[in-house]
Structure 1
Amino acid sequence: MINIGPETLDRTVKQLVDSGEASIEEAYAIFAGYRLVIEIDAEYFEREDGQIALVTLVSLASRVFHGGVYVEGCEGTPLLLPLPLGETIEDAVIACGGRTDQAPTDVPRIRIGSACSRRAPFHIRVVFDGWRGGIVPADFADTLSHVDRPPAMPLAPVLAASIAVAEAFEYVRTKSPTVGHFPAGMSLWTPHERNWLTATDAGPVLSVLPEKLWLIGLGHVGQAYLWCLGLLPYDPSAPLQLVLQDTDVIGPSTPSTSILSNMSMVGHRKTREMAAWAERRGFRTAITERLFDADFCVASADPSVALCGLDNIPGRRALDKVGFGLVIEAGLGSRHDDFRSLRVHTLPGRRTADEIWKDAPATDAEHVPDEYKRLKAAGLLDQCGMTTLAGKAVGAAFVGCSAAAIAISELLRFLHGDGLNESIDLDLRAADHRSASPSKVEMTGFNPGFVFARQPGLP
C-alpha cells in the first residue's frame, strides 16, 4: 500500500500526478515498469572518467527507473574513484542502486564507449573530453571517444551522465521517435558556446581546487554538490574543508531527488548524514543546524565561498548580506512542466539578491491537481495535507546533478583564471539552447583559497 502524504510522495513520480496523467497508484505502477541497461566498453572500466560516468548514471537512473538499472560486465574491476562505494565497480554499482544480473534486451540503453550499432529503439552514448560532456546516438561518429586521450575533467562525465538520464527519462515518458537521435551537451569551460562537440578549446587540466567551502542546504542540489566535490582530485594531504548547513531531517521522499540519500537515513538530520559521507570521502567537516537568514554572519576564518542549494526565497535573499566573498547558487524548476529547467547565479552581480528573488506569489487553490482533491474527498488527506502536497516541488535527481556540475565548474573556472558568469539558464529538454551572461563584477582582488590538485596517474 502506498503511503500518501506531503513528505512521502516520490518527487519525480509526482510529475505524472500533477500533470493529470495518472493517479498516485497508477503513477507508481508506471514508474515500476521503467527499466534501463548501461553498457560500457572494457577499456572505460580502467579509466576514472569512465567510472565516474558509470556510477553517476547508476545513481541517478536508479531513482527514476524503478524497474531496474542493469550494468553489463562489471565483475571484479577495481574501483578507482575516491567515493566511499566499495572496493570494486560491482560494489559501487550495487551501492548506487544498480543491478548486475542478467539484463533485459527490450529496454532503453545507455553506452559508455565507442560508436556501435543500435541495439534498441533508444540507444545513446555518453561522451566526454576535457571540460565537455554530453550525449550522442549510439552509432554517431564523434571525435571525443578515444581511450588514448587524457582523462576528462571529472565534472564532464557527471554532466554527460545527467543529460543521458534526462534523455532516457524523456523517452520512456513520451516514446517520441526523435528522443535520443540528436547530440546534446555543453562545455563547462565555455558554457556560452554551442559547438561543444567540435570546440578546439577543451579547457585546462585541473591544477588547483577550492580549499574551503560553505554548503547551504543539503537536499536535492546540496547533495549533488557533495557528489561532484567528492569526485574532484583532492590530494589526501590537503582535503577539502566543508561547513554544512541545514535544519531538516531526511524524509521518505528525499531519496527520490537527493543523490546521497537512501531509505536507511530517513528520520536522521541531513547535516549528520552528509557530514558522515564527506568524512568517509576524506574531507573535513563542521556543521551548523540553524536557519540561514540575513541575521547570519560569516566570520573571517570561515569559508569565503558558499554553494547554495536553498529552495526558499527568504534564504536566497540573504545570500549577499552575510559576508561571503562569492556565492554560487543553483535553482531548479518545480512544476510538472518546468522541473527539467535550471538556473545558476553568482553573487555579487549587477543585481542584488533582493532584486533577483522577489516575493513569491500566493498559491492559487484552484491549481490544486484533481488527484489531490480526490484524495481529500476520500478522507485520505485533510485540507492542510492537500494544499501542502500540491505545493511540494516536482523534481528529479538528474536535474540537480546537472546544476551542481555547472555551478561548481564556475568556481573551478574562476580558480583557473577565467571569468564568472552572472547567470546560466538551461532546460535539459533542449540543452543546446542555453544562455550564459558573463559577470561584469570586478573580482580580481578576491582570493577564495585553493589547494593543489592531485595530478592524473598519481595515487
Structure 2
Amino acid sequence: MTLTRQLSRIAKLLVDAEGIGFPEAEARLRAMTLDIVVGPDAANPAGHAAALTALAVSRRTFLGGVRVIGGLGQPLQSSLSTRATLDEALAEIGVNGFPGPAAATIGIGKAAARDHICACWDGWRAGVRSGARVALGTSNNPLAGIAAGAHAVGAAFQGLRGRTDLPADIDLWPGDGDIPDFGQVFLPSAVWLFGLGNLGQAFLWSLAALPYADGVDRALVLQDYDRVREENWGTSILVPDDRFGDLKTKMAEAWAEARGFRVARIDRALRTDLRRANDEPHLVLSGLDKIAPRRLLADVGFDTIIDVGLGRTARDFDRYRVNVFDKTRTIDAHFDGVVDPAPRPAAPDLPAYAKLEAEIGRCGAAEIGNASVAVPYVSAIAAAVATARAIAICSGQPCSPGEVQKVSASERRAAAASCPIEAPGVGHAGRAGVPHIATAPALPAAVR
C-alpha cells in the first residue's frame, strides 16, 4: 500500500502509539465517522464558532466522513465566514457525508445533548460534558467557542481510541483576579505571524473569529518561506483539499483578506538581518517549530512575543505550551542553551517503518519517522489560548507569562502567576463589537 501523504502525520500517531502498520492506521482513520449535532441554543457567537471549528478540524481527523445536522438555517453569528447562514458557512468549509450511523457524535449546544459528548462554554471558559450535564453560560466569546468545538472533537477522537475520561475545562483568560466580559476587552490592531503551518493557520482562524467593528483597520504581516505540501492537509486548518504547491503565505493572505484584514507578506525565512519598521506590528504570534529562529525574534524589535509550541510524539501530541515575552523577559534568554532534538539517521525500530522503508526507501522512511505527530484540534485550542493572551495585553491587563497544558488531561496544571507585560507600542482596534450577523431566509435544516 502506498503511503497517503495527506494522512501521514495523523497515521503516525496510531503507528507509534500502538505498533500497527501504516495500512491499518489509515484504514482505522478512514473508518472514523462523526456526527456534529447543532442545537437551536447554539445561535450565538460562541456556538457558531464551536460548530465551524468542530467541522474544520474533524474533517481532517475523521476520515470516514463528517455530517452536520440540526438547526443549521440560523443567521450566521460569526466573523469566520461572510456567508449568510450557518449551513452556508459549513458548506464553505466542506462536509463529507457517509452512510449509516456515525462512529461518534458530538453536540453543539445543550439542546443537542443526549448521551454523547457536547461542547460547552461560559465566558472565557471552554469544556466538554456528556448528556444531561451540559450547561451553557455567557456565549459572546468566539474564542471559547473555538476551544470548546475543538475540545469536543478531541474527546470524540480519543474516545474512539479507547480513552473515555472527559478532559478538564480550558481557562482562556490568562490573568488573575477579576475576569472581564468579552465585550469589555480590546482587540489587537496589528499582529505579525511567524510560521504559517498548523499553528500559524490556527492563529489566523482565531483572529478572524474576533468581532471587529465595521471599518476598523486591522493589519497582519505573514512570514513564511514554505509551500503547502500534501502532508500539511491533515494538520492545518486552512489547507484546501486538492491544491498544493502554493506559498503558505499566499494561501493565508487570500483567506485573511476575504475576512477584512489588511495583509503584508514576507516570503522568506527569518534571518538575522530582519528589523521591524516603525509602522509594522509590535506584537508577534509565533508558531515556529525550531529553537534557533525563535531566538532570532529577540533582535527584530518587537515589544511582545507570544510563542506557542506543540508536542511532537504519540505520547505528547496534545500538549501545548504558551509563553509571553517582552523587554524584561526575553525569548533569547528563555531559550538560551536549548537545542532541538537531533534527527535520527534511520526510521524508528518498528515493523511499520521497516515495511515503509522497503516501499519508499530509507530516506523517505526516516523523514516520516522524524516528522512530528500533529492533529488540528490541538492547534486550534493552543491558538485560542494565545489569542486570549494577545487580547489581555492589548487591554492593558496582567497576563500569565507561561503555561503548559495537555488537552486530554483530567486536571489542568497551574499557569505561572500573572504579571504586567511591557507593551508600549502594541495598539488595539477598539472593543469587541457585534459579530457578523446576517439575515436570510431559512435554508434546509441539515448539511449532508
Deviation at 1:284, TM superposition (A): 0.6
The correspondence of residues 46-61 of structure 1 with structure 2, limited to 5 A, is: 46-61=43-58
Partner in structure 2 of residue 197 of structure 1:
none
Matched, 1:318 2:296: yes
Partner in structure 1 of residue 369 of structure 2:
390
Letter in 2 for 1:356: F
Which one of 156, 171, 183 corresponds to residue 187 of structure 1?
A: 171
Deviation at 1:425, TM superposition (A): 0.5
Q: Distance in 2 between matches of 1:234 and 1:424?
A: 27
> Which digits, 9 at most, give the CA deviation of each residue in 1:136-161, with x for residues without a partner?
1122154xx25xx5x33110111111
Partner in structure 1 of residue 319 of structure 2:
341
Deviation at 1:87, TM superposition (A): 3.2
Tell me the number of residue pairs that the alignment of Structure 1 and Structure 2 aligns: 434
Of all paired residues, the percent bearing the same amino acid is: 31
> Which digits, 9 at most, give the CA deviation of each residue in 1:91-111, with x for residues without a partner?
222232335x68844532211
Matched, 1:237 2:182: no
Q: TM-score, normalised by structure 1?
A: 0.87
Letter in 2 for 1:179: D
Partner in structure 2 of residue 426 of structure 1:
405
Q: Distance in 1 between matches of 2:233 and 2:39?
A: 30
Q: Distance in 1 between matches of 2:192 and 2:335?
A: 21
> Which digits, 9 at most, give the CA deviation of each residue in 1:158-214, with x for residues without a partner?
11112111111110112x4x434xx62122125779xxxxxx946442442111110
Partner in structure 2 of residue 374 of structure 1:
355
The correspondence of residues 194-213 of structure 1 with structure 2, limited to 5 A, is: 201=179, 203-213=181-191
The correspondence of residues 61-100 of structure 1 with structure 2, limited to 5 A, is: 61-84=58-81, 86-99=83-96
Q: Distance in 2 between matches of 1:15 and 1:105?
A: 25
Change (3 A) 1:61 1:236: same
Gaps of 5+ in 1: 194-199
Q: Distance in 1 between matches of 2:101 and 2:176?
A: 39
Partner in structure 1 of residue 11 of structure 2:
13
1:11 match: secondary structure:
helix
Letter in 2 for 1:64: T
- Work out whether residues 192 and 281 of structure 2, in 8 Å CA contact, stay in contact via their aligned partners in 1: yes
Deviation at 1:226, TM superposition (A): 0.3
1:430 match: secondary structure:
coil
1:274 match: secondary structure:
helix
Partner in structure 1 of residue 157 of structure 2:
169
> Which digits, 9 at most, give the CA deviation of each residue in 1:350-407, with x for residues without a partner?
464254261224234476142222222x2x2223222222111110001111110001
Partner in structure 1 of residue 380 of structure 2:
401
Q: Distance in 2 between matches of 1:352 and 1:306?
A: 12
Q: Distance in 1 between matches of 2:121 and 2:262?
A: 30
2:398 match: secondary structure:
coil
> Which digits, 9 at most, give the CA deviation of each residue in 1:38-88, with x for residues without a partner?
1122232x3222111100111111111111111113453332322346333
Partner in structure 2 of residue 256 of structure 1:
234
Deviation at 1:294, TM superposition (A): 2.9
- Work out whether residues 135 and 160 of structure 1, in 8 Å CA contact, stay in contact via their aligned partners in 2: yes
Q: Distance in 2 between matches of 1:392 and 1:457?
A: 39
The correspondence of residues 113-192 of structure 1 with structure 2, limited to 5 A, is: 113-114=109-110, 118-119=114-115, 123-140=116-133, 142=135, 145=136, 149=138, 151-174=139-162, 176=163, 178-180=164-166, 184-190=168-174
Change (3 A) 1:226 1:291: same
- Work out whether residues 175 and 397 of structure 2, in 8 Å CA contact, stay in contact via their aligned partners in 1: no
Higher relative contact order (CA 8 A, sep 6+): 2
Q: Distance in 2 between matches of 1:226 and 1:439?
A: 25
- Work out whether residues 79 and 435 of structure 2, in 8 Å CA contact, stay in contact via their aligned partners in 1: no
Change (3 A) 1:298 1:60: same
> Which digits, 9 at most, give the CA deviation of each residue in 1:223-263, with x for residues without a partner?
00000000001123113100100000000011211111113
